[in-house]
Amino acid sequence: MGNDAESFVIKCRQSAINPLDFSIVLVYLDKAKNLYRLLRCNGKHPSQHTNRWERQQGQNGHTFGPCFHIHQATQRYQEADLEIDGFAQLTEAYSDYDSALEYFIRISGCVDPEPRTPSSADLFGGV
């Protein structure tokens, strides 16, 4: 891949202290090396999440507590000069890191490089 190539990157992290605190992120990297988070499957991190655009519009339900949730890049957040993946919705599509990774692979259109068991979810060698 040359220096002027566009690419997609998957970034994963999981807390060693709390295994339900994780993120699995699909990032688009443009030719100028700008990063755009397009999709993020989050676990139950300890803080609340606020959908800022919805709060600014006076909508109810813009804040929720620690729970499984999915962030997606949206046009309205881009136009409002907010983090493009700042919008998040609660989800019951997964309940731990392994099921979140399977869900992420399915909805993002990524191809799992090899069949795996739930205990071998580390596709990136601990990175």
Structural domain tally of the chain?
1
pLDDT at 115: 64
Give me the residues paired with residue 26 across strands. Answer: 10, 39
Instruction: Report pTM.
Output: 0.80
Task: Note whether residue 121 is domain-resident.
Answer: no
Task: Note whether residue 28 is domain-resident.
Answer: yes
Task: Note whether residue 124 is domain-resident.
Answer: no
Task: Note whether residue 1 is domain-resident.
Answer: no
> Per-residue pLDDT for the chain (127 aa), expressed as one digit of tens each?
456 678 999 999 999 999 999 999 999 999 999 999 999 999 998 888 999 999 889 888 888 889 999 999 999 999 999 999 999 999 999 999 999 999 999 999 887 666 666 554 555 554 4
pLDDT at 61: 84
Task: Note whether residue 118 is domain-resident.
Answer: no
Task: Note whether residue 73 is domain-resident.
Answer: yes
107 near 39, Cβ under 8 Å? yes
Task: Note whether residue 119 is domain-resident.
Answer: no
Average pLDDT, the chain: 88
Q: Which domain, by its residues, includes 92?
A: 7-112
d(CA 82, CA 72): 12
Task: Note whether residue 38 is domain-resident.
Answer: yes
